Amino acid sequence: MISVLYVDDEPGLLELGKQFLERTNEIRVETINSASQGLDQLDLRYYDVIVSDYQMPHMDGIEFLKRIRDTKGNMPFILFTGRGREEVVIEAINNGADFYLQKGGDPRSQFAELAHKIRQLVRRTHAEGMLSQNENLLQTLIRYSDEIITLLNKDGRIVYASPSIAPILGYDADSLTGELQFEYVHPEDREFVESEFSRAYQMSYGHYPLQYRLRKSDGTYIFAESVITSMLDVPAIQGAIIVTRDVTAWKMREDILRSEIGDLNHAELTNRTGYCTYNPATGVVRLSKGAQRLFGTRADTCTPGELEKTLIPGSGGAISGILSLQDTGAGPRESELHVAAGQGAGTTSLRAVSVPDRENNIVFISVREERGSR
C-alpha cells in the first residue's frame, strides 16, 4: 500500500482528498494541517509520497519542500495548490518538486489526477531505486572481480578499465583511458589479436576465448584469456566489452602436464608398456599411447568389443576377464593376451593386470609386452 502525507491548512479539503484517494484501498493517507507539523511527523515515519499545499501560514509549500530536501533527500514531493503563477511553478521545480498540480475544478477529476501522479511517482521511485541498487551491485562485482573488464570504442581505444587491472597488470585504471588496447599485447601476438578482435567486433554475441600475452607495467608478460562481446550497435557504447583473466598459472601447469605426458609416452614406447581405464557406466575404454601401440590400434577410446577384436581368437585370455569392477579379494587380476604383431610378424603376448577402483567406479589395467613373445 502507498503511504501519503497530505499537508494543507484547509481541513475540509484534507478530508475530501483523503476520501477520494483512499477509495481504491491502494493508497493510505495521513493528513496534517501545517508544514511544521508535517516536518515533525516526518521525523517519526517514512512516507512514499508527500502532497503539500503552497500557501500556508508560518511556512509555505516551497519552504516545506526545501526543508525536506535538506533533511530527507529525494523523498517524492507533489505541490498541490490553487496558486497558478508561473514563478511559483518555476520555484517548485527548481527546488526539486517532482510534480506540480493546481487545485480547482471538478474534485473527482482533480483527485483522480492526483492519485495517478502518486502512483506514477511511486513506480518511478521504485524503478530508480532498483536501478541504483543494481548499479551499486554491478560496481561492487566489478571492483572486487579477479577479472579485468575493459570497454573499448570502435577504434580499439580504452574507454574504461576496471580497478582489478592494478593488481593484475600494475597499471592505474584511469591512466589507460584513451590508450590502444593492442599497444599492451606482445609484439608476436599483436597481428593475430588485432585480426581476432576485428572479427569479434562484427559479431553481436560473445566471441570464443582468445589467448595471448599482455604486458605488465614492469615490462614482463602474462598469458591472458579474453572474451569479446561486440556492442557496436549500442549507441552509448559503440565498441566492445572485453573480459580478461590471467591464465599464466594455468598455462604453466598445462605445459608441465604436456611435458609429463610426453615423458610418459616416451617411457611406455621404450619399455613396451601401456595402460587402459574402463568405465562400466559409459562402456568406454581409454588407451594410453603405449596401449594403442601394443593392441595395434590408433584409437584412444573404444568399446570392450572393439578391443576384443584386436586379440587372436582362442589364443588366450579375453578382454572381458579383466574389465569387471567386482573385487574378487584375491588381489589384482592377471591375464595373458595375444595380439597379431603385424603382417607376417607372428604373435605378441601381453601381460595385462587389472585393478578395480570402486571409489571412482573404474577399472585400471596395466599392459606390458612379454619378452621374447615375437
Region class of 155: left (phi > 0), else alpha (psi between -120 and 50), else beta: alpha
Average pLDDT of the residues in 266-282: 88
Over residues 101-127, the pLDDT tens digits come to: 887 778 888 888 888 898 888 888 887
Q: How far is CA 287 from CA 36, 208, 258, 279, 338, in A?
A: 86, 30, 17, 12, 17
Over residues 18-34, the pLDDT tens digits come to: 888 988 888 999 999 89
Contacts of residue 334, Cβ cutoff 8 Å, sequence gap at least 6: 351, 352, 353
What is the per-residue pLDDT for 327?
Answer: 63
Residue 196 reports pLDDT greater than 90? no
- What is the pLDDT confidence band of residue 191, given thresholds at 50, 70 and 90? very high
Contacts of residue 159, Cβ cutoff 8 Å, sequence gap at least 6: 151, 152, 153, 177, 239
**Domains of the chain and any CATH numbers:** 2-141 (3.40.50.2300), 148-246 (3.30.450.20), 272-369 (3.30.450.310)
Average pLDDT of the residues in 237-249: 86
What is the per-residue pLDDT for 144?
Answer: 64
Cβ(238)–Cβ(154) below 8 Å: yes
Read off the pTM.
Answer: 0.45
Query: For residue 306, which of 283, 277, 324 has the smallest C-alpha distance?
Result: 283
Residue 374 reports pLDDT greater than 60? no
Residue 65 reports pLDDT greater than 80? yes
- What is the pLDDT confidence band of residue 340, given thresholds at 50, 70 and 90? confident
Residue 244 reports pLDDT greater than 60? yes
Over residues 293-336, the pLDDT tens digits come to: 999 888 999 999 998 888 888 766 778 778 877 665 556 888 88
Cβ(142)–Cβ(163) below 8 Å: yes
Contacts of residue 360, Cβ cutoff 8 Å, sequence gap at least 6: none
Residue 206 reports pLDDT greater than 70? no
Tell me which amino acid residue 267 is: A
Residues above pLDDT 90, as percent of the chain: 23
Q: Which grid coordinates are listed for 285?
A: 575404454
Residue 186 reports pLDDT greater than 90? yes
Query: For residue 138, which of 122, 158, 160 has the smallest C-alpha distance?
Result: 160
Residues above pLDDT 70, as percent of the chain: 88
Higher pLDDT, 194 or 144: 194
The chain-wide mean pLDDT, for the chain, equals 84
